[in-house]
A and B are shown apart, each in its own frame.
Chain A
Amino acid sequence: MPKFVELWVYLSATPLFGLTATLVVYVVAQAIYARLQQAPWANPVLWTVLVIAAVLLATGVSYPTYFAGAQFIHFLLGPAVVALAWPLWQRRAELRLRWGRLLLAALAGGIAASGSALALGWAVGLPLEVVLSLAPKSVTAPVAMGIAEKIGGIPALAAVFAVITGLVGALSGKYLFDAFGIPLDAAGWTARGFALGTASHGIGAARALQVNADAGAYAGLALGLQVVLASLLLPLLFRIF
């Protein structure tokens, strides 16, 4: 079948391939996720990433070739971060009342996540630049890359760590919160959402948005706070030491 091989070579080298593959696989993964009543382990990002990576490895298409098409989706991360102001604005009255407590929780959670990653990474003997790439992993991927660069980590690795962190949070959050006895009322949902946004940024926030609107809005706020706190504090901290 030389004809088919030629066609595949042509198609796999155009941006159309990366864009189409990302959208089609995600739409299918999303449909399965909905069918399984949004079970955490059926997370559509996890399965889409695994399926696409497997297809690329099996067919020998390189990541840069894939990204030539996928960049059109990646690009929307910027406007999506800007758009996070919308759910916050809708809840501006209650946020004004709770500002101090939310900031305190964001600081505590951010320090716990980054600090434990650095300490554990050092304890298990990972190379220094890998440990430094772990520090900003609770911040959304594009921002984590910038911070890693500033403190001496590897940007691409930091982005990958951020995505894995997001997935771990989205997969495990529900079970952890249930184990801690966090209730399923309005206050409980805001605490759950805020924790997901703090410890696992956009992927946690996406999970929170799908489950509960209050949780989603607080996750968006937490993700924004984490970006501001981490981009201020992490480079400052590493300049001191």
Chain B
Amino acid sequence: MTGLRGLAWLLLLQSIGELLSRGLSLPFPGPVIGMMLLLVALRWPLVREPVAACADFLLAHLSLLFVPVGVGVMTHLSLVSQYGGRMLLVIVLSTLIGLGVTVLTLHLLWRKHAEVR
């Protein structure tokens, strides 16, 4: 029941996020606004306790939620067969570049800060 109340809070905040996103034509998607709202709302135990139970469950199985979109690759098989190799090459290289730049930036910033202290 606690978990269910948590889900109700998450859906409610997502709905408010969608309303704000569309109503004010903000560039952020509804769930992201919902996340920012929840960050504020978590200070109240009435929200925090049920959300904690539900969020831990949802986030533990986060990767499952990407399966339906992932299977959508099969709808683009013609594009994949024509450009598949090149698309994959671009994705692999740019992902490695993104990972590398982020991890090295943060690693250096952490080290620099530790030296200052």
Which positions in B face A, CB cutoff 8 Å? 7, 10-11, 13-14, 17, 27-32, 34-36, 38-39, 42, 48, 51-52, 54-56, 58-60, 62-76, 79, 83, 86-107, 109-110, 113-114
Across-interface contacts of A110 in B (CB, < 8 A): 98
**Shortest distance from the beta carbon of A22 to any chain B beta carbon, whole Å:** 5
Interface residue? A180 (CB, 8 A): yes
Across-interface contacts of A188 in B (CB, < 8 A): 107
Which positions in A face B, CB cutoff 8 Å? 18, 22-23, 26, 43-45, 48-49, 52-53, 56-57, 63, 66-67, 70-71, 73-74, 76-89, 101-102, 104-106, 108-110, 112-114, 116-117, 120-121, 124-127, 130, 134, 137-138, 141-143, 146, 156-157, 159-169, 172-173, 176-177, 180, 182, 187-188, 190-192, 194-196, 198-200, 202-203, 205-207, 209, 216, 220, 222, 224, 227-228, 231-232, 235
Of the listed residues A23, A188, A228, the one surrounded by the most CB atoms of chain B closer than 10 A to its CB is A228
Bound state CA distance, A235 and B33, in angstroms? 18
Across-interface contacts of B71 in A (CB, < 8 A): 49, 52-53, 56, 63, 66-67, 70
**Shortest distance from the beta carbon of B81 to any chain A beta carbon, whole Å:** 13
Extra 16 A-B pairs, beta carbons < 8 Å, given A199-B95, A206-B63, A227-B28: A52-B67, A63-B71, A67-B72, A77-B31, A82-B10, A120-B89, A120-B94, A126-B86, A138-B95, A169-B99, A172-B96, A180-B100, A180-B107, A202-B65, A231-B29, A231-B32
**Shortest distance from the beta carbon of B35 to any chain A beta carbon, whole Å:** 5
